[in-house]
Amino acid sequence: MKMCVITAMLFLVLSGQCGILAGKVNKHKPWIETSYHGVITENMDTVLLDPPLVALDKDAPVPYAGEICAFKIHGQEAPFEAEVLNRTSGEGVLRARGPIDCEQQKEYTFIIQAYDCGASPSGANWKKSHKAVVHIQVDDVNEFSPVFREPLYRATVTEGKIYDSILQVEAWDQDCSPQYSQICNFEIVTQDTPFAIDRNGNIRNTERLSYDKQQHYKIMVTAYDCGQKRAMESVPVHIDVKPVCKPGWQGWNKRVDYEPGTGSKQLFPKMHLETCDGPLSSVRAMVELQTSHIGKGCDRETYSEKSLQKLCGAASGSTDLLPAPSASTNWTASLLTDSGRDSDLIFRFDGRQAANIPEWVVPQNLTDQFTIATWMKHGPSPGLRAEKETLLCNSDKTEMNRHHYSLYVHNCRLVFLLRRDFIQLDSFRPAEFHWRLEQICDKEWHYYVINVEFPSVTLFVDGVTYEPYLVTDDWPIHPSEIDVQLTVGACWQGGEVTTPRFTQYFRGSLSGLTIRPGKIATQKVISCLQACKEGLDISSLESLGKGIKFHFNPAQSVLVMEADDLESINTAMTKVSYINSRQFPTPGLRKLHITTTVQCFGEDTCISIPDIKAMVMVLPPSEPRITIAGVERLVWPAAQLRAPVGVALFKDIHIISTVTKTDATLSIARRPGVLELMHNLDYCDVLVIGEELDPEQESLEILHSSLLGKHLDATNSTSGISIYGVDSMAHYEQAIRQVRYRNWKPGGLSERRFRLSCSELNGRYTSNEFNLEIGIVHSSEAVEHVNHMAVQSQYMRPVHHPLVVHTVNSDHISGTPPAATVVIVMCIAALVVIVVLGIYRIHTTHQDGSNEDEERRKDPEMDWDDSNLNITVNPMESIDGTQIAEEVREEEPEEEEDEDEEDDELAGDLSSAESEDSDDEEETNIQKGKVKGKLEWDPLTLPYY
């Protein structure tokens, strides 16, 4: 116990001594550099410091006091830690506590201090160095590839030009260091391209590009960073080549096909104007449809002038001075005609042709009101002082050379001369009316109408009104007994010259020259007569907006548009359309001409836009096939032909028109395997085949009532009858069915033949030639069947039976049994007795029968059509004709008011034809007595035996 106490006391003494010693031993603080610079490679943990991390202590080599035990880091939560490698030498190392990423932070700065081990093993009384600044830079690793900033690059170049830089591509790298984050090189991957690229990504062309050779290029480009790491994906570069910028319209087709019946079709749906970025204040475009080669200036329904007058509602009474040459209109036969223009009748005057109008054609009584109208195509006259060119002239026929009225062209002026006759006052009056218009000499077709309401004269050209710019007065013409001569194409000089001749010849083309005395044409009629079926149009007017102004000429062949900006004019141009409303338009091309004017601010014109020449190709329409069908042979008794109204030739005629192609725009009625097309006809001719009609004994006629309510007229002559006018096929059928043939002296005539043909568009489409043959049966001939019919006997009750046709030949006769022969002989004997009695009865009732006959002639209900009727006379039965007539009237349906009338002698002639040869004389006497003038039969609904 005592030992322990001594030991403890000794320990305390020693400890106190050691503490005093330690305080004396650990005199100095550790020493380190004031600053350190280090480098660490990202994703590594060791920091390379400069200078190295070493702490010194002047207490060395005293244990603990002269040793370094730790380095401590302060500030910024630096992701580093310091480790003492050698306590004696004071060496240490700086390490990262985790992965270092340069892309997140490139540099770190913090404070570090060194600590010695103190004065004893317990580390008591340790000392720390001063604070040193450590600056660490993170070294980058090339871990990322370059990436392009855009997924696709586009550029446009103009052909024929070398560019220093077409466009620049850009790439970037996520690496943090300049070495690895910078792009040091670009490369075009696509081989054999006329392009190159520099280090900065600028692409240029190495040769001049051609728009015609290649309009588009696609190249692939890659990039490298300064560490030569290549981009993972190349970028596409699209380069478009455009032609050298020339101001003008682009995006249009030179040819546009038009299918008939499709309505309006856009001509330039993708058209736009290129101005090469030139500043503009307004744009004016004029689209012209050139159709001077089509008919009279455009596609019109080329009907005759008379038909057009009716269609347009013009007043009747006009005289056509230039009709088609014919036997009755031969004064135009010597004139030149311009053929091949869609059947449009055009007369061409070359300065040597003229025509005298016959006196019976010349319009009479030209009062204070009349109208002159014509189509004219005329060009400038040759020579500086051209003479007058006369279209129409009414002058003295002999002795003098006074012009009463005339229409002529002189130096591109249209002049109308009107010299009034002297009345009460001998004073100056308006006599010459002058118009100066571009249309007169532009070599295009125009429609001229002169309305005279003396002393006012108004000119219409293509429906537009023009007042005369000059009116001169003259003395009236004193009346004389001199005849006048009306001429076309020149003026007749009958007096004041040695030899009467034509003078002041016209050079140009005329068509449809007419004069209408007593009335003037209305604006509506004039517009209708010159209306064009084809022209320009604008679709979707509401989409044009307020920035566009436009207007058409009257014929809609010229369209002018104006706008203040490109967008408006481009939109308007895409709406320009072509339309042709003809059912069967004239196929072929129509030229289009577009002229454009661009105005800039403060300048008249700054950009020149080339004109455009295109065409509309009108495709051939589905042509109709007009077919006339009906019975081609009829047999009529001669007595029927002698009737006052003759016989109807085409009672069952039918006219149809078919096409082989379906057209949804037309009104069509479908039948199995055929398409029937409903359209108009303009004339049908019934011609006599063989010898012409003898007006002394035969005629072709048509009831005037059959034309009422229709746009039809008819003319007839010894060669046939012509029905004309623009009207439906149904109306033509109705009219043709009323054409009747009459021959009041058939004599020995056995047959007559006729030919029917019809036309649409003045002969452009014609029907088949339907031939009809009429067989004429005379009373002396024995006929059992006529047209599968015969006249009902006036001595037989009408009994309806199925129609049966029996053929009698020699075999049947030779095969008659003896009993039948006996019966026949008895019947003949009985017939003789009946005939004798009948003669007596006829004699007693002849007078009554004649009176009754007159009454029945006046009654249209007693007229019967005996076509297709079979009647066999029963000689054993005798019934009064009046009773039969009444019974037949009950059986027969009522006829129309204009039904055919037939001769009163029909029944008698056919009855005699039905009798045996031995009874011809007796039957003839019967016909002259009781039978004559009784009834006429319509067999269409009466099939009798």
pLDDT value at residue 937: 38
- Report the sign of the C-alpha dihedral through residues 117, 123, 125, 126, in that order: positive
Tokens of 841: 């009865």
What per-residue confidence (pLDDT) applies to 392?
94
* pTM: predicted TM-score of the whole model, two decimal places: 0.58
Give the chain's residues under pLDDT 70. Answer: 1-24, 76, 339-344, 383-385, 421-426, 478, 541-543, 545, 602-605, 661-674, 780-825, 827, 832-833, 835-945
Q: Contact, 871 vs 637, CB < 8 A?
A: no
Output the DSSP codes for 144-172.
---EES-S-EEEEEETT---S-SEE--EE
> Tokens 């550790």 sit at which residue?
30
For residue 911, how far is the Cα from the chain centroid? 65
Structure tokens at 46: 């060791």
pLDDT of residue 8: 44
How many other C-beta atoms are found inside a 10 Å radius of the C-beta of residue 170? 15
**Omega into 194 within 30° of 0, i.e. cis?**
no
Looking from the CA of 689 toward its CB, the CA atoms found within 13 Å total: 13
Check: CB of residue 483 under 8 Å from CB of residue 356.
Answer: no
The pLDDT score that the predictor gives to residue 763 is 82
pLDDT of residue 900: 41
Q: Whole-angstrom Cα distance, residue 792 to residue 903?
A: 14
Question: Which amino acid does the sequence have at 328?
Answer: S
Cβ partners under 8 Å of residue 898, min gap 6:
703, 705, 706, 738
What is the pLDDT at residue 501? 85
Q: 737 in helix, strand or coil?
A: coil
* pLDDT computed for residue 813 by the predictor: 36
pLDDT of residue 839: 64
Residues 329/347, Cβ–Cβ less than 8 Å: no
Please give the radius of gyration of the chain, using alpha carbons only, rounded to the nearest integer.
Answer: 58
Structure tokens at 86: 């050698």
CA atoms within 13 A on the CB side of 516: 21
pLDDT of residue 797: 32
Looking at residue 800, its pLDDT comes to 33
Q: Which residue has the tokens 């002159």?
A: 372
